[in-house]
Chain A
Amino acid sequence: MRRLHRVFDISFDYPCWTLVLAGLLVVYSGSFADEPAKPEESEPEAFRPIGGEFPPLEKAHSYRGELIFVDHANRRGSIRVEGNGKFFRNDPHPFAILPYGIVNYHGAPADLRDVPLGTVMHVHAFLPPDPEISAVPVLPVDNKSKDANHNRGAGIFPAENHVLLLEDEPSHCRRKGLVWRLQEMEIKNNEGMIIAARLPKQGEGGEVEEQELTFDAATRIWRGREFLSIEDLVTEGTWPAEGKKSLEGQPVLLGITWKPTEDGIFTRFHISDIWLDEESLDRAAHNQTETHKAFIRSRWMAAWIDDVEYGKFGRATVTATLFGGMDPSLYADFKKDSSALMNAVENNLKHTHGAYGPAHMASKGKILEVIQTPGEPPLGSSGIQIRFDTDLIIEGIRPPRVVRVRPSDWPKVQVPREEYLRNGGPSVEERFPSPDIFPKY
């Protein structure tokens, strides 16, 4: 009876269907490459991610900047992008995380809400896949080469604002096999300057970048399981209380932020954290991993639909690719013959049926097969496909739409109000958040 009620709800809820049809039209018009969006007309070679295909990382535009603003419920925010000019003058630059975008913090998977404001992040991003429904402002495709004037330089407003990979400094270094080698420090009153170079952990070559960074009494030092301050290092004699000291290339990992700088310095970053050894960063990564595991278990694993084979009376076999960047233990919970739930979500990964909890309206069924695709999967993908059989497929589960899935032995919880759409009554703004939220400077 409850299932009949669910079918009835879906079939005859007029406002719900109006929105679904409107959504279909928008998605349809944006999903086909032969209907180019306006900004592309001036530059036909511009690359945009296409629904159902993970874009290659090497085609992404990369930059770094300071996290200024976070709207985690819509997976978007703003970053002050580093250029050649006066960093403080750069307007916060809006970005949106792609549905399969990966966020890493402290060398572990993260959600945008886990990253503190002020953290300097490395970004790999693309042009908006579909400018018509972009949740952030759509800019001219050549914007990254334009000079922003006012001594700000070029590159601070890239049109590539749809993010595939967002990672903090230690995550970036770990992924690329880099460490910071501390050359020299100068200290007075528990604050000062460090000269350091970012170098490959082993061997020669690669990225070499020497920088002058500030630190102060609020800089955190991590050593094994210890949480120290600059004052502790001074007290134990590791660092002098005043003056210069050579640090002889000591390998560390750094957390980097930005603070206003004196003396007309255009751009100089600040050290928020120093991890003195592998153990200390492993512990930070472990803590962040556990945070994210609990998060994904309650919000479900994101995936997209590769294929649907429709059966009779609402039955279907669905093939979906799980998105990447999560802890392997989460993927391991998707097993052949185990039961699972699948719910339609928007591009911001909000559950579309959620007032009674995402489990209420989700398609339920069994995992027929778990397929590990050969080779290294592209960034964004886990390389894991599941084939899932359900006796009642719901609207929204169709290629190349995004869904969330959970093995049924994950906890059955209800998500908070800002993370789901109201059944049958979400506004267009809720489904397709407008870029108007971002201030114009």
Chain B
Amino acid sequence: MALLSSRFDFRIGLLASLSMLAIQLPAIGEESGEEVFRPKPGKFPPLEKAHSYRGELVFVDHATRRGSLRVEGKNAFRRNEPQPFALLPYAIVRYHGAPADLRDIPLGTMLHVRAFLPPDPKISSVPVLPINNKEKKSGYGDPGTAPAENHVLLLEDEMSHCQREGLVWKLKELEIENYQGLIVARREPTEATTAPAQEETFSFDASTRIWRGRERLGISDLVDEGTWPENGKKPLDGQVVQLGITWRPTPGGVFTRFHISDIWLDDTAINRAAQLQAENHKAFIRSRWVPAWIDEVEYGKFGSATVTATLFGGIDDSLYADFTKDAKMLMNPVENTLKHTEGGSAGPTQMSAKGSILEVTKTEEPPLGSSGIQICFATDLITEGIRPPRIVRVRPANWPDVHLPREEYMRDGAASINERFPSPDFFPKY
């Protein structure tokens, strides 16, 4: 009965057809004959083809996995208009060296971005810009501050970026007065190298958090214990740390200078921050399910089917380990925003396809975005939306059966076009 209502809902059918049409239409830009790369459904785009930049997280719409970043250029940072971005369905977000959701990252955090042109400009949830926009000057901004590559594969804070790339910050010198001041630091590989190190001057102030072992300290604590002077300069002799970086308005006509929000002084402190974030994300994924896409469906009789799906990457290993051969599992279609499309108001479990995992296959060194894990799943009642290259969410049956908050699912049979394909009009024009 549930299947009948799902299959014959005219509105959903119409929307699905529209979405399929949109996926197959050529994207703007290719027509001009220029060589542009856009991710294709069913293929993880290679990281080396991504455009990389960094910027300050200024706005978040976590329910539709999009937001805005003030992208760093060479001129006055504060004048750069917030640039909308959307996370690709298989995007990886990392915060404090652990998997994260967009909602976990505080506004103001400086993030490293690897992004692509919109896979399908017609259904982009953020403004579609001319493909050469990263070379253009926009408004008061400077080149590179409004890239058309606004569909993100990898979004990571400074600590996550450094850990992935094997980098550390080495503190060179500090100047302090009244618990605030400047620090000169270099970002260097952990392994000795002859490559030139990048030196940067940062501000810090009385709100900068210092993490040492299991302690959370303030600048005043370091001054009180004599580690840092109360006034004046001090060489820090290349002390190895990890930094959390934000931006604050700068006096003195400085174009761009970033601010240190956090300093992790040792590995214990770094690992504790990562562990906390990992636990937070594990609870999040257990309640929202692991995203995946459909590689193949072999249809059987009377609604039964065998489905092959690839689990998306960037999630804690313990979650993947819960997908085991012969275990019971549920699979529910979702939109590109990863919002559950079926059975939301009664919980995603109600309308999902249920069955058993026939096989779990692992491939070595998967591309970023993929876990490298394929599951083969047999269900006796396949639901609309479970077909290549659509996105689904899956959960082992022993994960908690919970209902999601209203903004994270579509209303059964009555979702608006804007709910399925969020409009870029949402973003302010400056």
- List residues of chain A with CB under 8 Å of any chain B CB: 68-73, 80, 86, 88-92, 113-114, 116-118, 150, 190, 216-218, 220, 222, 225-229, 232, 258-262, 283, 286-288, 290-291, 293-294, 298, 355, 411-418, 422, 427, 429-430, 437, 439-441
Neighbour of A225 across the interface among B215, B287, B406, CB < 8 A: B215
Bound Cα distance from A68 to B407, whole angstroms: 9
Neighbour of B58 across the interface among A227, A260, A413, A418, CB < 8 A: A418
Q: Cβ of A116: which chain B residues have Cβ within 8 Å of it?
A: 106
Q: Cβ of A416: which chain B residues have Cβ within 8 Å of it?
A: 58, 70, 78, 249
Listed stretches B294-302, B307-315, B358-366, B397-405; interface member? B397-405
Expressed in whole angstroms, the minimum distance between the Cβ of A76 and any Cβ of chain B is 12
In the complex, are the beta carbons of A261 and B251 less than 8 A apart? no
In the complex, are the beta carbons of A260 and B404 less than 8 A apart? yes
Answer whether A227 and B215 are a contact pair too, CB < 8 Å, given A117-B103, A413-B250, A429-B428: yes
- Interface of chain B residues 270 through 291 with chain A (CB within 8 A): 272, 275-277, 279-280, 282-283, 287
In the complex, are the beta carbons of B404 and A88 less than 8 A apart? yes
Please give me the residue from chain B that is nearest to A411 by CB atom. Answer: B251
Q: Cβ of A413: which chain B residues have Cβ within 8 Å of it?
A: 249-251
Answer whether A430 and B248 are a contact pair too, CB < 8 Å, given A71-B59, A286-B218, A416-B78: no
Interchain Cβ contacts under 8 Å between A and B, 14 examples? A92-B407, A117-B103, A226-B216, A229-B279, A258-B405, A260-B405, A262-B400, A413-B250, A414-B76, A416-B78, A417-B78, A418-B428, A427-B429, A439-B418
Answer whether A229 and B275 are a contact pair too, CB < 8 Å, given A290-B205, A429-B428: yes
Expressed in whole angstroms, the minimum distance between the Cβ of A79 and any Cβ of chain B is 12
In the complex, are the beta carbons of B107 and A72 less than 8 A apart? yes
Residue B177 is within 8 A (CB to CB) of chain A in the complex: no
Q: Cβ of B70: which chain A residues have Cβ within 8 Å of it?
A: 416-417
Expressed in whole angstroms, the minimum distance between the Cβ of B283 and any Cβ of chain A is 6
Q: Cβ of A88: which chain B residues have Cβ within 8 Å of it?
A: 403-406
In the complex, are the beta carbons of B218 and A287 less than 8 A apart? yes
Interface centre among B107, B140, B206, B282 (most CB of A within 10 A): B107
Q: Cβ of A216: which chain B residues have Cβ within 8 Å of it?
A: 279, 283
In the complex, are the beta carbons of A418 and B418 less than 8 A apart? no
Top 6 A-B pairs, shortest CB-CB distance: A413-B249, A260-B402, A290-B207, A218-B280, A217-B279, A290-B206
Please give me the residue from chain B that is nearest to A86 by CB atom. Answer: B403
Residue B217 is within 8 A (CB to CB) of chain A in the complex: yes
Known contacts A217-B279, A293-B206; 8 additional CB pairs below 8 A are A68-B63, A88-B404, A220-B276, A225-B221, A258-B405, A262-B400, A414-B249, A440-B416
In the complex, are the beta carbons of A226 and B218 less than 8 A apart? no
- Counted as pairs of residues, one from A and one from B, with CB atoms less than 8 Å apart, the total is 147
Q: Cβ of A222: which chain B residues have Cβ within 8 Å of it?
A: 216
Bound Cα distance from A113 to B109, whole angstroms: 11
- Interface of chain B residues 122 through 149 with chain A (CB within 8 A): 140
- Interface of chain B residues 311 through 346 with chain A (CB within 8 A): 345
Bound Cα distance from A415 to B419, whole angstroms: 34
Interface centre among B60, B205, B218, B402 (most CB of A within 10 A): B402
In the complex, are the beta carbons of A294 and B218 less than 8 A apart? no
Expressed in whole angstroms, the minimum distance between the Cβ of A75 and any Cβ of chain B is 13
In the complex, are the beta carbons of A225 and B428 less than 8 A apart? no
Q: Cβ of B59: which chain A residues have Cβ within 8 Å of it?
A: 71-73, 418
Answer whether A218 and B283 are a contact pair too, CB < 8 Å, given A411-B251, A413-B251: yes
In the complex, are the beta carbons of A229 and B272 less than 8 A apart? yes
Bound Cα distance from A294 to B106, whole angstroms: 17
Q: Cβ of A422: which chain B residues have Cβ within 8 Å of it?
A: 430
Q: Cβ of B277: which chain A residues have Cβ within 8 Å of it?
A: 218
Please give me the residue from chain A that is nearest to B254 by CB atom. Answer: A413
Q: Cβ of A118: which chain B residues have Cβ within 8 Å of it?
A: 103
Q: Cβ of B400: which chain A residues have Cβ within 8 Å of it?
A: 260, 262
Q: Cβ of A228: which chain B residues have Cβ within 8 Å of it?
A: 214
Q: Cβ of A291: which chain B residues have Cβ within 8 Å of it?
A: 207
Please give me the residue from chain A that is nearest to B101 by CB atom. Answer: A117
Please give me the residue from chain A that is nearest to B59 by CB atom. Answer: A71
